[in-house]
Structure 1
Amino acid sequence: MGLKKQMLQFEDQRSDLESDYESDAEPLILKPFRLLDLPSEIRLHIYHFVLFTPTRKSALQRTGNVGASAKKSKPLAPSSHRIGLFLASKQIHDEATHYFYSTQTFRVLPVQDFLRMPTIRGLPRRHRASVTTIELIVGSSWTAPPKSWTINQGLGLQDMRLARTLKVFVQCDPSHPVFEGFRISRDFYTNFCGNLLHEILGRLPGLVQVEFDGWPSVDQNGPLMTRLLAETRGAHKKVLWGTERGWSDHQDGRHKHHELSDIDAAFDGMLSHPPDIVEALSNSLQTVKLES
């Protein structure tokens, strides 16, 4: 018997068995699962699973390399999963979107490290009220801050009524001597960042605390950090310290000042600056190494 004829007989026998099973079995009735009958705590766990469970290993690769907004950002599920959840019903949409925006850290101003998440200016206005944590990263473009780095009504800070924490990450302090000859002046960037933070603190209606962190060359008692801390305490906000540097209220940064090498400062300055000045700073770094 040929193989083709055997396959045809097998298909006929399988069809007969399926027909007999379907005629004897009771019809299968699928009962709907009422998600909204679950307690809200369990629904939030389900939203987290749907929103932040990637299906590919490549999705686990984080984008961005600066601050909590990059290092602590959750890997996202495929957009089709997220959109499907948001379109399930109005109540599920409202609960899921609020959970999504309240668990993310959004940057106040853009930094050139290819982070996927938008800055707060790019958030839909209706979702700004869900944001609880934002981050300001300073040190980037310290010779010529972008003109877009302005704090105004269009930024939407006044809409973030639930924002309780502002994270401030300092990439470098250009008042360090190694930047002499590259910066506009010793106090230019210190004053620029101080005024920036002053404006932000004045526009967040429910802000409670400001958390500071930075790269290795940043001195806790240096000019830039001193100005930022003064603005924070002047606005009567609680000061917290991030995990990157391990700073604390009881730490005296002055006795560690000698450990902050010129090489670290130049290296941090290169990482935080656009490519047009990296070559010049690289040459300066080589000079520092030779002199050391």
Structure 2
Amino acid sequence: MSKPLDLDPVNYRLVHPRLAIFIANRRTYEEAYPVFYSQPIRLFPTHGRFFHTKQPLLARLPAHYRSVVTTFELRFGPGWSMPPRCQNTNPSLGLADCTSLRTLRLFVECDPSDGIFAGFRGKNATEDTYKWFCVDLLRGIMAQVPSLETVEIDAYPAVKKEAPLVMALRRNIEEGGKKLAWGPLRGWEKDADEPGLIGLEKALAGMGISDAPARMVAVEA
């Protein structure tokens, strides 16, 4: 899975040089920008410098760039006690222009409905406040982007498949008539709520090595 394009201080070094092809000539430009902007776009920034920006990356793009975006990534968890004002689906975000969007990747970093967050949720916030905030974002995207086909849910290991936030997202995806997919990190495509390819397990799998206990095999002489 490629790293999403987002507002980041290192873009001048990692992203800007790749945009040089845009100014080669008109024909090259017309062929290059749909390819460049077909990579995943992070809907709301997570880097501290841009976390409270008034304009997420999508809102800064011209409409014809937004029209070729195919994949969004949306992270739930950062700023959960007081989400930035930029995390909304107002028309100024430009979702209506995203006519080629097919996939929305939701990544749940934490679920503040868990009891361990009691006392840290902010004034007048309940265990369900952030859950409904996330659901409203999902609904806003689905309502404004009819071309959306698949919504993928992934999470960090501490987040359970039956967590209230995950269950609410899943229910709204299904009610919205979208295809539900489970991301590779958490491993929820398995029948049980087992971890996916995380940390050492992923490294071992990449080398063709398993950390599963060896089986005893009886051999008759």
Task: Name the CA distance, whole Å, in 2 between partners of 1:146 and 1:241.
Answer: 27
Q: Could you say which residue in structure 1 is the equivalent of 2:34?
A: 98
* Partner SS, residue 69 of structure 1: coil
Task: Name the CA distance, whole Å, in 2 between partners of 1:113 and 1:242.
Answer: 25
CA deviations on 1:27-49 (whole Å, 9 max, x unpaired) are xxxxxxxxxxxxxxxxxxxxxxx
Task: Name the CA distance, whole Å, in 1 between partners of 2:138 and 2:150.
Answer: 13
Task: Name the CA distance, whole Å, in 2 between partners of 1:217 and 1:80.
Answer: 38
Q: Could you say which residue in structure 2 is the equivalent of 1:251?
A: 191
CA deviations on 1:118-168 (whole Å, 9 max, x unpaired) are 631222222111111011111111111112211111111111111100000
1:190 matched to 2:131: yes
* Partner SS, residue 141 of structure 1: coil
How does the TM-score come out when normalised to structure 2?
0.74
Contact kept, 8 Å, 1:160 with 1:205, in 2: the verdict is no
Q: Could you say which residue in structure 2 is the equivalent of 1:82?
A: 19
- CA-CA distance at 1:187 after TM superposition: 0.7
Task: Name the CA distance, whole Å, in 2 between partners of 1:80 and 1:136.
Answer: 26
1:109 matched to 2:50: no
Task: Give runs of aligned pairs for residues 141-160 of structure 1, distance below 5 A.
Answer: 141-160=79-98
Distance 1:114 1:68, change over 3 A: farther
1:217 matched to 2:158: yes
- CA-CA distance at 1:87 after TM superposition: 2.0
% identical aligned pairs:
36
1:138 matched to 2:73: no
- What amino acid does structure 1 have at the position aligned with 2:131? T
Q: 5+ residue gaps in structure 1? A: 1-66, 260-292
How does the TM-score come out when normalised to structure 1?
0.57
Q: Root-mean-square deviation (CA), in Å?
A: 2.4
Distance 1:222 1:79, change over 3 A: closer
Q: Could you say which residue in structure 2 is the equivalent of 1:289?
A: none
Distance 1:245 1:231, change over 3 A: same
- CA-CA distance at 1:82 after TM superposition: 3.1
1:181 matched to 2:119: yes
* Partner SS, residue 135 of structure 1: strand
Higher-Rg structure is 1
CA deviations on 1:240-291 (whole Å, 9 max, x unpaired) are 111111111x6344xx7xx9xxxxxxxxxxxxxxxxxxxxxxxxxxxxxxxx
Q: Which has the higher helix share?
A: 1
Task: Name the CA distance, whole Å, in 2 between partners of 1:210 and 1:78.
Answer: 27
Distance 1:204 1:81, change over 3 A: closer
Aligned counterpart in structure 2 of residue 199 of structure 1, from 136, 140, 146: 140
Q: 5+ residue gaps in structure 2? A: 6-10, 51-55, 196-221
- CA-CA distance at 1:79 after TM superposition: 3.7
Contact kept, 8 Å, 1:175 with 1:224, in 2: the verdict is yes
Task: Name the CA distance, whole Å, in 1 between partners of 2:71 and 2:127.
Answer: 31
Contact kept, 8 Å, 1:166 with 1:209, in 2: the verdict is yes
Task: Name the CA distance, whole Å, in 1 between partners of 2:46 and 2:58.
Answer: 13
Task: Name the CA distance, whole Å, in 1 between partners of 2:129 and 2:18.
Answer: 47
Contact kept, 8 Å, 1:98 with 1:130, in 2: the verdict is yes
Task: Name the CA distance, whole Å, in 2 between partners of 1:232 and 1:96.
Answer: 33
Q: Could you say which residue in structure 2 is the equivalent of 1:226?
A: 167
- CA-CA distance at 1:88 after TM superposition: 2.3
